[in-house]
Structure 1
Amino acid sequence: MKSDATMKPHDRMAAYLADDMDAVSALIRERMASKHAPRIPEVTAHLVEAGGKRLRPMLTLAAARMCGYDGPYHVHLAATVEFIHTATLLHDDVVDESAQRRGRPTANLLWDNQSSVLVGDYLFARSFQLMTEPGSMPVMRILSNAAATIAEGEVLQLTAAQNLATDEAVYLQVVRGKTAALFSAATEVGGVIADAPEGQVKALYDYGDALGIAFQIVDDLLDYQGDTGATGKNVGDDFRERKLTLPVIKAVAKADAEERAFWVRTIEKGKQEDGDLDHALMLLYKHDTLTATQRDACDWAEKAKAALAPLPDHELKDMLIDLADYVVSRIS
Structure 2
Amino acid sequence: MTTAVRHRVVVVAYDDVELVEVACVTSAFDGANRLGVSPPYEVRLVSPQGRPVRCSSGLVLGAQAALERTRGPVDTLLVVGGPGHAVAAQNTRLVEHVRRLAGIGRRVASVCTGASLLAATGLLDGRRATTHWAYAHDLAQRHPAVHVDAAPLYLRDEHVCTSAGVTGALDLTLAFVEEDHGPALARMLARMMVTYLQRPGNQAQISMFVDAPAPEHRTVQQTVEHITEHLDSDLSATALAAYAGVSGRHLARLFLDHLGQTPAQFVRTARAEAASQLLVSTALPLASIARRCGFSSAETMRQVFLDHYGTTPSQHRTVHSAPRVAPAAGSLIRPTGQEERHPAADRLQA
Assess same fold via TM > 0.5: no
**What range is the shorter-chain TM-score in?**
0.3 to 0.5
Q: Which has the higher strand share?
A: 2
Instruction: Provide the TM-score with structure 2 as the length reference.
Output: 0.36
- RCO greater where, 1 or 2, for CA within 8 Å and sep 6 or more? 1
Instruction: Provide the TM-score with structure 1 as the length reference.
Output: 0.37
Q: Which has the higher helix share?
A: 1
Larger radius of gyration: 2
